Amino acid sequence: MKDFAGKTAVITGGGTGMGRELARQLVAEGCNIAMCDVSAANMAETRAQCVGAGLPQGMKVTTHVADVSDEAQVIRFRDEIRQQHGIDHIHLLFNNAGIGGGGSLFTNSREQWERTFNIDWGGVYYGVRTFLDMLVRAPEAHIVNTSSVNGFWATVGPDISHTAYSAAKFAVKGFTEALINDLRLNAPHVKCSVVMPGHIGTSIVFNSRAIQSGGTGAISQMELQSLRVRLTKAGIDAAKMTDEQVALAAGEVAKAFLEKAPTTAAQAAKIILDGVREEKWRILVGADAHWLDERVRATPEDAYLPEFHKAFVAASGWRLG
């Protein structure tokens, strides 16, 4: 698919980050957009940025509130697209929505763990299941599933548990790889790609906290305790800090994740769209992703040693663990 003009793209998690940038860049090329997110306000901002001074006649950018971990809501999203866009097919599906959190089976609650897993993996599965018929009806189509470097390297550092997110992203990667042959056998005009971003400048840390807290943005006592441990290991006397001070430190970490990332969300979206044009089935995003991919493949037995992480930090500038 070399040209996106006149096509229709479905984007989950379109309210911020890579989802927003995918929408902006696709609209600039004349592509119709239907996006979902749990935040109507964030989507309204994305739509405003897409529309600008107005859309060419016939183009549509629609927003739909939906939680991708709930199949019924994803089905409703699909049905709204059919009605509002007046179509029975789509050309592009970006299963982009995702959150973090629930990293530990020991220090996080089961609810936090499963919330992350059900959005990051379940959202991709429900997205493909729900929109597959509409993709098959198109003369050409492409599915883009967002995994992560944590889909082949299940850590962000030796001092941080990262099980829920990593398990989900491994599932997304394996599912997409298996889907290649499934589509080749049953719908060869539909292609698919797995996207594996490294550290991208997005609001995922802020958004994850909001979703995990039920919209309040509050940090749980479990997370506060985990943060105290991490601060102590970083040489900070967290025992003397109040809960409010720890929460403030967490906010600074989230801000740094957004503002100091080596790859911006806009750059990531361009890499993804270029990968779709070139029909790449695996799309690595960022120099850090390429470094990890090469090294993990070369020395898989060393991938979880502290020395491996130190070498990665030195090479990439990551400061997450």
CATH (domain of 25): 3.40.50.720
CB 1 within 8 A of CB 245: no
pLDDT (0 to 100) of residue 110: 94
The pLDDT tens digits of the residues spanning 279-317 come to: 999 999 999 999 999 999 999 999 999 999 999 988 887
**pLDDT tens track for 33-45:** 999 999 999 999 9
Q: Out of 260, 276, 301, pick the residue that ends a domain.
A: 260
Q: Which of 140-149, 187-196, 240-249, 261-270 has the lowest mean pLDDT?
A: 240-249
Residue 60 domain-assigned (yes or no):
yes
For residues 220 and 117, membership in a common domain is answered with: no
> Does residue 117 sit in the same domain as residue 227?
no
CA 80 from chain centre, in angstroms, equals: 23
Same-domain check for residues 187 and 153? yes
Whether residues 191 and 291 share a domain: the answer is yes
114 and 214 belong to one structural domain: no
Radius of gyration of the chain (CA): 20
DSSP assignment string, 196-239: EE-SEE-SHHHHHHHHHTTTS-PPPHHHHHHHHHHHHHTT--GG
Establish if 321 belongs to a structural domain: no
- Flag whether 187 is in a domain: yes
Instruction: State whether 182 and 218 are in the same domain.
Output: no
Q: Are residues 147 and 25 in the same domain?
A: yes
Chain centroid offset of residue 127 CA = 13
| Same domain, yes or no: 100 and 152 | yes
| pLDDT of 101 above 60 | yes
- Which run of H or E residues covers position 146? strand 141-146
Quote the DSSP letter at residue 240: G
* Inside any domain, residue 234: yes
Q: Are 72 and 165 members of one domain?
A: yes
> Same structural domain for residues 25 and 79?
yes
Give the domain extent around 136.
8-202+264-314
Residues facing 193 on adjacent strands: 144
Among 222, 237, 260, which residue terminates a domain? 260
Do 143 and 197 share a structural domain? Answer: yes
pLDDT at 20 exceeding the cut of 90: yes
Mean pLDDT of 159-171: 94
For residue 303, tell me if it sits in a domain.
yes
Contact call for residues 96 and 66 (beta carbons, < 8 A): no
In this structure, is residue 244 part of a structural domain?
yes
Q: Cα(296)–Cα(303) distance, rounded to whole angstroms?
A: 6
Q: Of 219, 245, 260, which one is at a domain's C-terminal end? A: 260
Q: Is residue 2 part of a domain?
A: no
The pLDDT score that the predictor gives to residue 248 is 72
pLDDT at 255: 62
CA distances (Å), origin 199, targets 134, 211, 247: 32, 20, 22
Angle at CA of residue 136, ends 271 and 179, nearest 5°? 60
Query: How many folded domains does the chain comprise?
Result: 2
**Residue 319 falls inside a structural domain:** no
Q: Report phi then psi at 283, rounded to 5.
A: -120, 105
pLDDT above 90: residue 7: yes
Say whether both 186 and 229 belong to one domain. no
